């Protein structure tokens, strides 16, 4: 029916160490060391809703591009991974600027915590969501139906860049836990810069776990060159 619409309920929010878009992995599953917690809204904290979920190792998250809402949609977009110069159909990309701002991510389910002070909480790894992102639904990942290793990847096949080397001096590492250090390293290996940036003199910054991490990229190596309290 033309013009038909319906509303969806936000059932949870995800909590990560990445409060802004810069630094968020481009796809889910790329940085397994990046941990997150999914905390449910009051109406969806019934432990019965999670019965059997602990038997699965991965789940699908259906969520909202809450920072990418637009009044109008465009049939074509410029994928950053193609340098921002080539237009493709929106339905041939994973651009956040869609007719409906809905995202889909597959993450590793590490723990189902049913009776904590926040109600049921899901502990996951490998998420590509900003802190506070609203979640509409959760479904189990089913390997026999969801895995297609023979699938064609379209324009993305040629974009599997070799990971960057990372220099993370000990003087800066001490600001983070070992788990957080691994997550920062994983993010930098995947080069969070816009794909069309290649300035070895430019210093970039991303906010992670309440601190601003400064780095530059030179000769295929990301070098952490400073850490300071976020907003300092």
Class of domain 12-66+101-151: mainly beta
Whether the predicted pLDDT of 124 surpasses 70: yes
If residue 88 lies in a helix (H) or strand (E), which one and from where to where? Answer: strand 88-89
Distance, in Å, from the CA atom of 100 to the CA atom of 64, rounded to the nearest integer, reads 9
* CATH 3.30.2310.20 applies to domain 161-229: yes
pLDDT tens sequence across 161-200: 678 999 999 999 998 999 999 999 999 999 998 877 778 8
Asked if the domains at 12-66+101-151 and 161-229 fall in one CATH topology, the answer is no
Chain mean pLDDT for the chain? 91
Whether the predicted pLDDT of 1 surpasses 60: no
State pTM to two decimals. Answer: 0.91
**Strand ranges in the chain using DSSP code E only, listed in sequence order:** 12-15, 35-40, 58-64, 76-77, 88-89, 102-116, 119-125, 134-140, 165-167, 204-208, 211-218, 221-229
Kindly list the domain boundaries of the chain, sorted by start residue.
12-66+101-151, 161-229
Whether the predicted pLDDT of 135 surpasses 70: yes
Q: Are strands 102-116 and 119-125 parallel, antiparallel or unpaired?
A: antiparallel
What pLDDT does 67 receive? 78
Percent of the chain surpassing pLDDT 70: 95
The two tokens of residue 69 are 């809402």
Distance, in Å, from the CA atom of 123 to the CA atom of 57, rounded to the nearest integer, reads 11
pLDDT tens sequence across 69-109: 777 888 998 877 776 678 989 999 888 888 898 999 999 99
Residue 133's Cβ-count burial label (10 Å; 0-12, 13-18, 19+) is: buried
């Amino acid at each position: 029916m033309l013009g038909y619409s319906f509303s969806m309920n936000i059932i949870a929010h995800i909590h990560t160490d990445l409060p802004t878009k810069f630094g968020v992995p481009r796809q889910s599953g790329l940085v397994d060391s990046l941990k997150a917690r999914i905390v449910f809204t009051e109406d969806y904290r019934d432990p019965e809703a999670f019965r059997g979920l602990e038997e699965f190792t991965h789940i699908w998250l259906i969520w909202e591009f809450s920072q990418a809402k637009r009044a109008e949609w465009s049939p074509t977009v410029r994928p950053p991974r193609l340098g921002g110069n080539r237009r493709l159909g929106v339905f041939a990309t994973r651009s956040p600027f869609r007719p409906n701002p809905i995202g889909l991510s597959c993450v590793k389910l590490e723990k189902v915590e049913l009776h904590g002070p926040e109600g049921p909480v899901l502990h996951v790894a490998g998420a590509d969501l900003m802190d506070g992102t609203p979640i509409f639904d959760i479904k189990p990942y089913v390997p026999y139906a969801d895995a297609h290793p023979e699938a064609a990847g379209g324009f993305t096949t040629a974009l599997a860049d070799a990971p960057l080397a990372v220099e993370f001096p000990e003087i800066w590492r001490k600001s983070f836990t070992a788990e957080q250090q691994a997550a920062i390293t994983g993010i930098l290996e995947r080069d969070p810069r816009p794909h069309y940036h290649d300035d070895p003199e430019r210093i970039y910054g991303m906010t992670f776990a309440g601190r601003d991490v400064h780095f530059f990229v030179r000769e295929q190596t990301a070098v952490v060159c400073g850490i300071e309290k976020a907003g300092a």
